[in-house]
Amino acid sequence: MVDLEVWKPIPGRPGYEASSHGRIRSLDRWIADHNGRRLFLRGRTLKQVLNADGYPVVGGLGYVHRAVMLSFNGPPANGFEVAHNDGNPANNLLTNLRYDTHAGNHADRLTHGTHGRGANAKLTAYDVIVIRSVIGETTRALAKRYGVSDACIRLILIKRRWRWL
């Protein structure tokens, strides 16, 4: 069965829509240039960039998962946040998202093995020391070798993660 992509406006962001497949687009629109002439801008699907924690963001609009949930389910109840059912912050399919409490969202990290501390940590202190001592290898190659994200390696290298080592 093919899951059709549905687009809905993002509340509070006129001219933008989110899709059930986790994409964001701008709509066709007219703008005025600096000389007062009207220009037509064709809508397009916007580029998503992963932030340091692995969450896709769109410039000027913020987190994609929040835009998708806001468009399809409205604002969260007080104290609730967007949670990913599979623990993958880059998977912003509507069917993978839900509103949950912070505690519920955090409990998912233990279930998915993405907690990152104690017994659930993927890296040891020795791994971090080796990562920081490697010269001439890309962050992508190191990430692949250790089974973590590029962002994780970058944060280790600039000492925003494992800063006590």
Domain boundaries, the chain: 7-112, 123-157
The residue-averaged pLDDT of 24-43 equals: 94
Is residue 84 a contact partner of residue 108, using CB atoms and an 8 Å limit? yes
| DSSP code per residue over 6-69 | -EEE-TT-TTEEEETTS-EEEPPEEEE-TTS-EEEE---BPP-EE-TTS-EEETTTEEHHHHHH
3-class SS at 80? strand
DSSP secondary structure code for residue 26 in this structure: E
| DSSP code per residue over 98-148 | EEEEHHHHHHHHHHHT---SGGG-S--HHHHHHHHH--S--HHHHHHHHTS
Q: What percent of the chain has pLDDT over 90?
A: 61
d(CA 140, CA 163) in angstroms, rounded, equals 21
pLDDT of residue 29: 93
Give the predicted TM-score (pTM) of the model.
Answer: 0.69
49 residue type, one letter:
V
**Tens of pLDDT, residues 117-147:** 554 467 888 888 889 998 889 999 998 888 8
pLDDT band at 45 (very low <50, low <70, confident <90, very high): very high
Task: Note the CATH number of domain 7-112.
Answer: 3.90.75.20
Q: Which residue has the higher pLDDT, 151 or 165?
A: 151
